[in-house]
């Protein structure tokens, strides 16, 4: 019997054990990643909401002053956002 034939069962056992260990660790890692992503989203949503409220109040103020009106301000805001490319909506 040659050495290669003896090493195959050992090699399979090592791979099987490594796979079992990774399956045990996967739920903890997944929970950690989901928690981090949820935390990021929970920080972004209020900031976005605050920004939208600020824009709405500025538009309302300008419209009350008899300035450009709501449509003019919205157009300017959209132009400004498209120039800064935020958010990046371009697709390859």
Read off the pLDDT of residues 56-89 as tens digits, 9 standing for 90 and up.
898 888 888 875 555 565 666 666 655 555 555 4
Are the beta carbons of 34 and 40 closer than 8 angstroms? no
Residue 92 maps to a domain: no
> Rounded to two decimals, what is the model's pTM?
0.42
Quote the number of domains for the chain: 1
Question: Which range marks the domain in which residue 73 is found?
Answer: 7-79
Give the integer Cα–Cα distance in Å for 81 and 58: 16
Residue 43 maps to a domain: yes
Give the integer Cα–Cα distance in Å for 19 and 17: 5
Say what the pLDDT of residue 40 is: 92
Residue 38 maps to a domain: yes
pLDDT in tens, 2-48: 555 656 888 888 999 999 999 999 999 999 999 999 999 998 888 88
The residue behind tokens 């449509």 is: 71
Say what the pLDDT of residue 85 is: 53
Residue 17 maps to a domain: yes
């Amino acid at each position: 019997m040659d050495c290669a034939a003896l090493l195959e069962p050992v090699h399979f056992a090592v791979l099987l054990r490594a796979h079992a260990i990774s399956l045990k660790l996967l739920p903890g890692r997944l929970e950690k990643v989901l928690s981090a992503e949820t935390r990021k989203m929970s920080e972004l949503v209020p900031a976005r909401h605050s920004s939208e409220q600020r824009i709405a109040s500025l538009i309302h103020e300008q419209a009350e002053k008899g300035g450009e009106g709501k449509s003019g301000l919205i157009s300017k805001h959209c132009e400004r956002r498209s120039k800064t490319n935020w958010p990046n909506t371009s697709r390859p």
